[in-house]
Amino acid sequence: MGVFIFLVGLKSFEASRIMPAMGALLPIFTFGFALILSGQNEVLTFSDITAFVLLIFGTLLITWQKKKTITLTNIKIAILSAFFFALYFVLAKLVYLEQPFISGFIWTRIGAFMAALSLLFSKEVKEDIFGRPKFIQRKTWVIFFPNEVASASGFILQNWAIALAPFVYLGIINALEGVKYVFVLIFTLFLSLKFPKILKEEVSREILFQKIIAILLIGGGLVLLAGR
């Protein structure tokens, strides 16, 4: 459900209008659900809370674009998407508490598959799936396949982190999302310098300063977590 709402939002609005709010809300919702559903007395230390806040603000800052206007509709989509994503993380943790990682992961994927089948009630989805087949060029497959492998690997590792982490730290796992954007920024800058004809990234001093501050905040949060 979270993925569906997020993709609907991306279809109507630019990602830069949804990601900042979602990146900030997802860890907060996850932390709240973890406290409510865990039934445990685990608590975060002051160092953990500080790292949590730094990571959230770092994620918000690194995805924020000053010229992009965020509307009430954008906020609603971000809230709903973050709500269901957070609920998934906590429910997945409950599964991993009762099952070994492999079997627990398989059960969560079966649940996701069953939920995806409900989309077949949509006429538009049916036409996209069972309509005239669309031929994909070979060079598109060269990009698509490695992308899907990397995406699947990242998702499996994220679930492994959910299985290993204590309940109260699930929010911090989500707050670490900002690290992803640091790597995206690094790869984007590298590709724009190495292959300017394929990808051209123009970064002003103001934007560069914003990204550096965001990276420092995220780095500070990581240092605090590593020093536990």
Give residue-wise pLDDT tens across range 176-220: 777 777 777 777 777 777 766 655 555 667 777 887 888 888 788
The answer to whether the CB of 170 falls within 8 A of the CB of 156 is no
Q: Is 132 exposed, middle or buried (0-12, 13-18, 19+ CB in 10 A)?
A: exposed
Q: Structural domain tally of the chain?
A: 1
User: Of 27-36, 72-81, 142-151, which has the strongest mean pLDDT?
Assistant: 27-36
pTM, full prediction: 0.69
Residue 194 lies in a domain: no
What is the structure's pLDDT at 154?
Answer: 84
Mean pLDDT for 125-152 is 68
φ, ψ (nearest 5 deg) of residue 41: -105, 30
Average the pLDDT over 71-89 and give the result.
Answer: 78
Residue 146 has pLDDT above 50, yes or no: yes
Is 31 part of a structural domain of the chain? yes
> Considering only 35-39, 117-121, 133-137, 156-160, which range has the smallest mean pLDDT?
133-137
Q: Is 157 domain-assigned? A: yes
pLDDT number for residue 13: 47
55, part of any domain: yes
Torsion of the alpha carbons at 11, 1, 111 and 87, rounded to the nearest 10:
130
| Domain span including residue 122 | 2-177+214-226
* Amino acid letter, 107: W
More confident residue, 69 or 143: 143
